[in-house]
């Protein structure tokens, strides 16, 4: 390899770290149960803080209207379908974070 060209060395990707702060199991029955019972409303606020995107924008991106979001605040929990969409969005955001090596602005 030419001396002036650096070889790409991906950073160590750890399933732990800041994404683990969301409190979701990686895969399996535990994850299924969490989604089936409905993620707590705090999950959305934690995700919004983690990726530095407005909570209303995140909820809109998974099809949760502002009026429905207000109802979820009162209920304290998302439905199974909403939880599933939030989980899938989390996976996409996590993949974007990995792709852009933690650069939040590029990953958005």
Single out the residue of 39, 32, 26, 34 nearest to residue 91, CA to CA. 26
pLDDT tens, 67-80?
999 999 999 999 99
Write out pLDDT tens, residues 20-47: 778 888 778 988 999 999 999 999 999 9
Beta strands in 1-106 (DSSP E): none
For residue range 49-108, list pLDDT tens digits in order. Answer: 988 999 999 999 999 999 999 999 999 999 999 999 999 999 898 888 888 776 656 555
pTM metric for this prediction: 0.75
Residue 53's Cβ-count burial label (10 Å; 0-12, 13-18, 19+) is middle
Q: How far apart are CA 18 and CA 76, in angstroms?
A: 23
What is the residue whose two structure tokens read 């599933």? Answer: 84
């Amino acid at each position: 390899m030419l001396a002036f060209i650096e070889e790409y060395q991906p950073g160590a990707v750890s399933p732990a770290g800041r994404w683990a702060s969301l409190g979701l199991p990686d895969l399996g029955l535990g994850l299924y149960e969490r989604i089936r019972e409905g993620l707590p409303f705090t999950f959305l606020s934690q995700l919004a803080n983690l990726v530095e995107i407005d909570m209303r924008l995140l909820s809109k991106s998974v099809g949760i209207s502002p009026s429905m979001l207000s109802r979820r605040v009162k209920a304290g929990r998302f439905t199974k379908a909403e939880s599933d969409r939030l989980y899938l969005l989390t996976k996409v955001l996590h993949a974007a974070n990995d792709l852009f090596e933690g650069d939040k602005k590029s990953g958005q």
